Structure 1
Amino acid sequence: MSGKTTFWARRRAAVQAEADAELRAVEEAEVLTHDEALAERDDAEVLEEMGLPDPAGMQKGDDFSAFMARDVPEHLRRQALRTLWRSNPVLACVDGLNEYDDDYRAAMLLNEPIKTAYQVGKGMTKHIEEMQRQADAKLAKDSAEEETEIEEEELIAEAREPDVTIVDSEEATPVSSVQEEQPTEPEAAAPTPRRMRFQFEEASA
């Protein structure tokens, strides 16, 4: 299915958008006329006519949703919201996590350029370089401490080793001379091999 739209489809969409815009304009005009008419009347009469309580006397736990209706005048809706914020301190607590709390127009009011660490095509280069420098310094420190520990261990090992004197093999006394000489028993004579002899008697005539 092709994603292209026909001329008549675009035309129908444009006509529908115009009709929706006209409808919203008529509704906004009606609301404005209604608000102007209610603004000339007393707030107590308006609240009584709409069946709403006095927003100034409402407390925590009351239903404030009725003031969010479109027919309620804007100033009465704001009074109800202010009472709601005061009734529950948690709702009025600003935690600073809302992105719309900052004033992004401050940069437009300055006469001098804003200094930032951001560089086009490189990003936050200075910040990254500083982090790399700290990482390299920590690595060098750890390496120096490790080398110092190795040297200390080698010194301790050398101090614990006994002194050993190396003697030349020619001057060394053979082990057999150190041991006590024990008497040797005479070796037994080797047995003489025996030979078989045969005698033949001559037969008498």
Structure 2
Amino acid sequence: MSGQYDYIKRNLEIIRERIEKAAAKSGRKAEDIMLVAVSKTVEPEKIIKAIDEGITELGENRVQELVQKYDIINRDCNWHLIGHLQTNKVKYIIDKVKLIHSVDRYSLAAEINTRAQKIGKKVDILVQVNISGEQSKFGAAAQDALELIRKISELENLRVRGLMTIAPYTTNPEAVRYVFSGLRKLSIDIEKENINNINMEYLSMGMSNDFEVAIEEGANIVRIGTALFGERKYI
């Protein structure tokens, strides 16, 4: 498999260097940042190359694609569901994912909890918040996040581990710094409430075009696809 996909190794080295520099700006180390490789529409051979180079966390946007790749890629790695999740598809991924990043409504949380109870599992989730207010983005409104989290805290088979957001796409990352600082501030406010079963351990924010600014603002999970695997081919 060497040769054809060597660019993935080079890209990963560059990404890790960039993560290290951004982490240093916020007084942290590269090891403090979880790199989730976004493998949406990426062929299994490329994903396996990334795993061979040390990637352990894989993020998928679509349930069907995650399920297919889960069966094909028989490697020691963790799967993250990072895209919008429909309630009727929870059952397909409940036993496969390490972390669901995109819980944005109580009905979804309740379904995850029900499915988790059936298999005797505690499921780790992040609450997705739409900090920017973009209508095209999923996520709870910032002003509704605390109330949603209070309700979710009563679901015994869920563990809220933090927050996630998606910034508007821009070629100027500084233009969306407010999104990342906003999520961090919200996380701090929620932490102060000391809600049972709620832990603001993770801030999942930042993608290929803006992850350095996100890290500077406190991200400890970044979701990177294009910068690692190259431009995607959408079908």
Identify the structure with the greater strand proportion.
2
Larger Rg: 1
Identify the structure with the greater helix proportion.
1
Q: Normalised by the size of structure 1, how large is the TM-score?
A: 0.21
Q: Normalised by the size of structure 2, how large is the TM-score?
A: 0.19
